[in-house]
Amino acid sequence: MQTGMFSRRVIGAVTLSLAVFAFGAGAVEAQEARIAAVNSDRILRESVPAKAAQTKLEAEFAKRDKDLQDLAQRLKSMSDSLDKSGASLSATDRAQKQRDLSQLDSDFQRKQREFREDLNQRRNEELAAVLDRANKVIKQIAEQQHYDLIVQEAVYVSPRIDITDQVLKALAGSSSSN
């Protein structure tokens, strides 16, 4: 008898929950949600702030990149020279040139690794700043146009709800005023 009473209570609670859910769902249907989507990859590729960040990074790292290219050329020249004249050198001279070449190669590898790490860190900082600005613009658009939800990552987005172009235009406008 206890089991039957428990079952009726559970069934009654589930029925009540379903009724509340159905009522709530009806309320949502009556008020249409405004949803939009933004393509973050396009923002990071095409926006004025992203292009400015790329130009800034190129200028910031141009000298180090040039120095690395010069060092690579020097390394190649030393290697070619050792290949050509290695047979005619004394064992001591050849060993010394190989040590010098090895040291230069190690130095080049270290500088190249440091360059990549520094560039990646700065790129991440700049892209984070671009995304922060984009998110502020997206929030402004959401508030001004009364969107309930704007997503940035989705498997599929209908062009009908894609507002990426609008965000790009707003970012271009906000860049000229900054």
The CATH label, of 3.90.420.10, 1.20.140.10, 3.30.910.20, 3.90.180.10, for the domain at 32-176 is 3.30.910.20
Within 8 A by CB and 6+ apart from 140, the residues are 170
Cβ atoms of 96 and 77 within 8 Å: the answer is no
Angle between helices 48-85 and 91-144 (to 10 degrees): 170
Domains of the chain: which residue ranges?
1-31, 32-176
pLDDT in tens, 96-152: 889 999 999 999 999 999 999 999 999 999 999 999 999 999 999 999 999 999 999
What residue type is 101 in one-letter code?
Answer: L
Question: Among candidates 95, 104, 108, which has minimal Cα distance to 67?
Answer: 108
Query: What pLDDT digit, counting tens, does each position of 26-72 carry?
Result: 444 557 889 999 999 999 999 999 999 999 999 999 999 999 999 99
**How many angstroms separate the CA atoms of 72 and 77, rounded?**
9
143-172 pLDDT, tens digit each:
999 999 999 989 999 999 999 999 999 999
Whole-model pTM: value is 0.69
Task: State the Cα–Cα distance between residues 144 and 166, nearest whole angstrom.
Answer: 13
